[in-house]
Amino acid sequence: MNEVLRRTAATLARHLTLVGTSAFVLMPFIWMLSLSIKPPSEAFGRTVQFWPDRFYGLENYSEAIFGSPLLRFMLNGAFVCVVTLGLQILIAAPMAYALAKLRFAGRDFMFGSVLVGLRIPIEVLAIPLFIAFHHLGLLNSYTALILPGVISPFAIFLFRQYFRAIPDDLIAAARLDGLSEFAIVWRIMVPSAMPAVIAFAMLSVVGRWNDLFWPLTFIRSEDLMTPALGIVRFRNEEVGNAYGPLMAAAVVVVTPMILLFLLAQRRFVEGLATSGLK
């Protein structure tokens, strides 16, 4: 009986900790949603009130969506995310396969370079990239938003760890069937590592969608702004101190990422949990 009580108390304490932590993490999002449906007079009331006395959501969301280029910002962000992710997988998958399954001189050194790349923030290259893009005439373009992220050391590392768990006999059988090394990568390795691909895809898309540093560094034209930079400009020029429309715009921008995680959370967890089995 005492053992049962101890287990019950431990389970209850664990769940209470999870609930408290989740509430702490979700509180800014809940407050953002609350502000997005409040009129200006209630945005900074003296009492904490999540549901407004007068619902003002239609006005705030209409101003956010139709009174600014918010949809254009989101289309730009989607384009940059999709193209960057495609190029990242196109480069990372063959490199990860070579590091995991092929034997050649310098393989360990190359893998060590990947590990070093994981430790170096990409932002340290901002000034050299800015100068290079300036001389190449690539500033204020989609190319400037996409190129800094096309080589991902994390993708190479994640795929390499997952590829190592795939049996060598499967690869040997594919070679006997006449498949080339590139065909093995795209027809066997990548489909077999789909949980890792989905996990990385979610991290990549969320990172590029929320990225403010590179757009702020390279972009000046409003037509090329991504969601994060678009909201900054939205705050400064479109609505001023009207926090209702600003919070409504933030809700609209955040919602696709929340839906993406809810739809793929099982594969996301599976990909990260099994990538280091071997």
Contact predicate 76/214, CB 8 Å: no
Would you place residue 139 in the very low, low, confident or very high pLDDT band (cuts 50, 70, 90)? very high
Q: What residue type is 107 in one-letter code?
A: R
Is 166 strand, coil or helix? coil
Contacts 24+ apart (CB under 8 A), 222-227: 222/69, 223/69, 223/72, 223/76, 224/76, 224/140, 224/141, 224/142, 224/145, 225/69, 225/72, 225/73, 225/76, 226/73, 226/76, 226/77, 226/80, 226/145, 227/73, 227/74, 227/76, 227/77, 227/253
Share of residues in the chain with pLDDT > 70 (%): 92
State yes or no: pLDDT of 159 exceeds 90: yes
State yes or no: pLDDT of 94 exceeds 90: yes
Look at residue 240 in the predicted model and tell me its pLDDT: 54
Would you place residue 54 in the very low, low, confident or very high pLDDT band (cuts 50, 70, 90)? confident
Averaged pLDDT, 209-215: 92
Look at residue 277 in the predicted model and tell me its pLDDT: 46
State yes or no: pLDDT of 121 exceeds 90: no
